[in-house]
């Protein structure tokens, strides 16, 4: 089995991505969230990089998936460079495992817009979106706004359950930043090429 460590800004994010990937990779990979107690802006702290080093040394991971929001559009090169530098520091800190960056344009919630069927069903709404979710600014706020008057309101912790219901192929075909991430992931292990 391929051992995959997952790091993110929030445990909801790491669980959500694992839930989206598990149907495709579950037969060949085991996932584990690492650095669980370090969140948000603390992902830029020296303590975080030290913890990455310690956790990848104590458990030998083949791949480390690093999830981070850009909170900007990809055209904002200074922000992109900042996140790439963050990823490079993780590469330097990780012990012997390959690292892959899932750089979310604005927020991870954008992925939900690639397949709105589970969202609409869960909240009893009829949100539609036809474009690439990479073009959306503040997707989390759009989801909250859409359910403001619904019986059930969207909250960030719902993300992990919603991601387990998303159509993987639809997400891949519609969401450019997720597709870029998958191409990078495919290149890290020959077993991935057959399943994603």
Task: Output the pLDDT for position 91.
Answer: 95
Task: Output the pLDDT for position 165.
Answer: 98
Sorted by sequence, the CB contacts under 8 Å of residue 171 that are 6+ apart come out as 20, 111, 114, 115, 178
Instruction: Read off the pLDDT of each residue in 81-89 and give the average, rounded to a whole number.
Output: 96
Instruction: Read off the pLDDT of each residue in 96-106 and give the average, rounded to a whole number.
Output: 93
The answer, yes or no, to whether residue 77 has pLDDT greater than 90, is yes
Query: For the chain, what is the radius of gyration of the CA atoms?
Result: 16
The whole model's pTM is what?
0.94
Residue 171, H or E segment: helix 168-174
**pLDDT, the chain, mean:** 95
Q: Which domains are assigned to the chain?
A: 2-108+175-194 (3.40.50), 111-164 (no CATH)
Task: Output the pLDDT for position 194.
Answer: 84
160: tokens are 């992990």
Task: Output the pLDDT for position 189.
Answer: 87
**Sorting pLDDT into bands at 50, 70 and 90, what band is 195?**
confident
pLDDT digits (tens, 9 = 90+) for 24-76: 999 999 999 999 989 888 999 999 999 999 999 999 999 999 999 999 998 99
Cα 189 from Cα 166, distance rounded (Å): 24
Neighbours of 194 (CB within 10 A): 8
Cα 144 from Cα 192, distance rounded (Å): 35
Cα 22 from Cα 31, distance rounded (Å): 8
pLDDT digits (tens, 9 = 90+) for 136-191: 999 999 999 999 999 999 999 999 999 999 999 999 999 999 999 999 999 998 88
Cα 118 from Cα 89, distance rounded (Å): 36
């Amino acid at each position: 089995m391929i051992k995959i460590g997952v790091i993110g800004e929030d445990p909801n994010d790491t669980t959500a991505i694992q839930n989206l990937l598990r149907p495709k990779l579950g037969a060949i990979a085991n996932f584990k969230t690492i650095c669980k107690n370090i969140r948000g802006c603390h992902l830029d702290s020296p303590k975080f990089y030290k913890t990455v080093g310690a956790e990848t040394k104590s458990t030998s991971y083949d791949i480390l998936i690093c999830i981070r929001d850009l909170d900007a559009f990809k055209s904002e090169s200074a922000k992109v460079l900042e996140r790439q530098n963050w990823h490079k520091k993780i590469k330097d800190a990780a012990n012997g495992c390959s690292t892959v960056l899932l750089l979310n344009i604005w927020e991870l919630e954008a992925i939900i817009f690639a397949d709105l069927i589970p969202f609409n069903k869960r909240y009893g709404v009829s949100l539609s979106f036809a474009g690439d979710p990479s073009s959306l600014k503040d997707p989390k706020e759009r989801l909250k706004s859409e359910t403001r008057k619904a019986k059930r309101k969207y909250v960030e912790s719902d993300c992990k359950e919603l991601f387990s219901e998303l159509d993987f192929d639809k997400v891949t075909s519609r969401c450019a930043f997720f597709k870029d991430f998958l191409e990078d992931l495919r290149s890290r292990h020959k077993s991935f090429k057959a399943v994603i």
